[in-house]
Amino acid sequence: MKKIIIVMSIILLVALVIWLIIQYNNGAGQSEKTEYVASNRDEEILIVDIDELEKRAAEFISIGALGYIQGGAETESTLRRNQTAFDMVDIYPRVLTGVNEPNIKTSILGTEISLPVIVAPAAAHGLAHVSAEAGSAKGAAVSGTIMSVSTYASSTLAEVAAAGDGAPQWFQLYLSKDDKANRQLVKLAEDLGYKAIILTVDAPIGGNRFRDARNNFEFPLALPNVPRAGGKTQGQSINTIFAAAKNVLTPYDVMYVKSLTKLPVIVKGIMHPDDAEVAIIAGADAIWVSNHGGRQLDGAPAAFEVLGDVANRVNKRVPIIFDSGIRRGQHIFKAIAMGADVVAIGRPVIYGLALGGWRGVVSVFDYLKKDLQRVMWLAGTQNIEEIKNVELRYKCISVKCEPL
């Protein structure tokens, strides 16, 4: 009897060990490995130089997530050029103009906004803050501007719409291979009150992002707006997620999205005048000049370097939105003088969110409002329309001075 008890005890002990191993591999031990903790800060932030936000936000974002947010493709030469390109032109200071308290309000696609800066669509704000895109949306709403929401957001479209509480929002669509899913997403955005559809066309595949590869970065959070047919998103790399989206795009895709909605369709990711022409012919209601923040094709020009050429080809037939590298009032001013109607920011919003939640996002927009107004005052422009008539001074490139 004693031997039987000993044998049974050993069997039970072995069974317990096996059960513990299974539980560890299936979640009990893995939860520590996969649980993601984002910032929960809720405060206004002091901004002296907006470039400093990246370093400050790094204290509250994990290494892999930070690399995903701040990184670009390959050696990041295009990422760096996005900001340095603004130094290729100067703004003439103007005096005796009678300018007083410049008006920075404007409108885009029939929507009035408090400044010519909107939130660019960017994936997974939940990497920066527990409120995710809902927090960014509230900050944008309080700031009086437009929130653009990515298909790859970590908040649902409904959560973002609720946080905006009626403020203008746009939905950025990555086309799925599943037409039914595309129709459902567009209809959902319409039903929730989104004011425009942004069709991103510059990411048929993901860029070669060295930082993500070095960090072996995989999304620690689910992306709830991605169609289920695309598979699980949590624990996947961005390239895997891109691979599940439609990766052959033509002008007919612009026409297709136009057929799904009565909302304006903005074509995002334009870097060549010919592509702008094709998009307009296909029915684009606005052109979005962008190189995806330097995250796709390294060795491409800065978005600002091509903005003037694209604007000349568009010739005011449709509005132009611009992003990639905007950090200061002078950048906003130069982009509008070069042909943009409004500009968009992504990373500064995410860093502000990490540092202060929705209040941090408001702080970012407050900084840009004051900075733009200061630049306009010193440049002798009373309103946004006057900026569009400003002549910038081109610096010398090589041995002669040339337009960008």
How far apart (Å, rounded) are the C-alpha atoms in residues 193 and 259? 18
How far apart (Å, rounded) are the C-alpha atoms in residues 309 and 146? 26
How far apart (Å, rounded) are the C-alpha atoms in residues 238 and 221? 12
Judged on CB neighbours under 10 Å (0-12, 13-18, 19+), 178 is: middle
Residues with catalytic function: 292
How far apart (Å, rounded) are the C-alpha atoms in residues 212 and 76? 13
Judged on CB neighbours under 10 Å (0-12, 13-18, 19+), 366 is: middle
* DSSP element (H, E) containing 185: helix 179-191
User: Vertex 366, ends 293 and 164: CA angle to 5°?
Assistant: 75
Residues 6 or more apart from 297 whose CB is under 8 A from it? 73, 78, 207, 291
Residues 6 or more apart from 136 whose CB is under 8 A from it? 119, 125, 147, 349, 350, 353, 358, 361
- Kindly report the backbone phi and psi dihedral angles of residue 11, in degrees, each rounded to the nearest multiple of 5, phi listed first: -60, -45
Query: What DSSP line would sit under 293-315, residue for residue?
Result: GGTS-TTPPPHHHHHHHHHHHHT
In three-state secondary structure terms, 14 is: helix
